[in-house]
Amino acid sequence: VKVAILKYIETLAKQMDPGDFVNSSETRLAVSRVITWTTEPKSSDVRKVCFSFKAAQSVLISLFELNTPEFTMLLGALPKTFQDGATKLLHNHLRNTGNGTQSLSYVNVYLTLVRQGSMGSPLTRPTPRSPANWSSPLTSPTNTSQNTLSPR
């Protein structure tokens, strides 16, 4: 039953619009359960555990790919052990696929700031921009002598 639910969530995530994925208490609970399923100790029924583990990994990767900023913000609201488990899985996935250097950097920077307390409460801040839209300090708006923002 667990594998069927995970496969359903993975399929659903692949069909959703990024804006449909929200950082709610229900979503955080569900994601924390899925993360737990990726770290469950092996049992006597290795085949069942293996299918469950792979399905749980696929769900986390699908949600990350659906909306990286929102998923990363959600991770920032979870306890460090959950963050570490999911981040390790995502690092391995991105390294193995050769994709997502910017996404990986985004996760690392964001979670570091959350852990340092520099980002405030993950539940109250707005959705961050995606890494592709980050602007360089050289092109960011600056204050002019008249204390107004200059155009880029």
Q: For the domain that residue 53 is a member of, what is the CATH number?
A: 1.25.10.10
Residue 135 falls inside a structural domain: no
Confidence band (pLDDT; 50, 70, 90) for 150? very low
Residue 63 belongs to what domain range? 2-122
| Dihedral over Cα of 92, 97, 101, 107: its sign | negative
pTM for the complete prediction?
0.65
Q: Rounded to 5 degrees, what angle do the CA atoms 22, 28, 121 make?
A: 80
Residue 38 binned pLDDT confidence (cut-offs 50, 70, 90) = confident
The two three-digit tokens of residue 36, written as one number:
């737990």
Domain-located, residue 55:
yes
Determine what percent of the chain is predicted with pLDDT higher than 70. Answer: 58
64 confidence band (pLDDT: 50, 70, 90): very high
Domain total in the chain: 1
Is residue 144 in a domain?
Answer: no
Q: Is there a domain that residue 29 lies in?
A: yes
Residue the block writes with tokens 């769900």: 59
Is 148 domain-assigned? no
Q: Is residue 103 part of a domain?
A: yes
In contact, 141 and 150? CB cutoff 8 Å:
yes
Is 63 part of any domain?
yes
Looking at residue 105, its pLDDT comes to 63
Q: Which residues contact 130 (CB under 8 A, 6 or more apart)?
A: 68, 69, 106
Mean pLDDT (the chain) is: 73
Distance CA 5, CA 68 (A): 22
Q: Could you tell me if residue 24 is inside a domain?
A: yes
Question: What tokens were used for 2?
Answer: 């667990």
Distance separating alpha carbons of residues 71 and 152, to the nearest angstrom: 30
pLDDT of residue 117: 59
pLDDT in tens, 73-126: 999 999 999 999 998 888 888 877 776 555 556 666 666 666 655 555 444 444
Confidence band, pLDDT 50/70/90 cuts, at residue 52: confident
pLDDT band at 11 (very low <50, low <70, confident <90, very high): very high
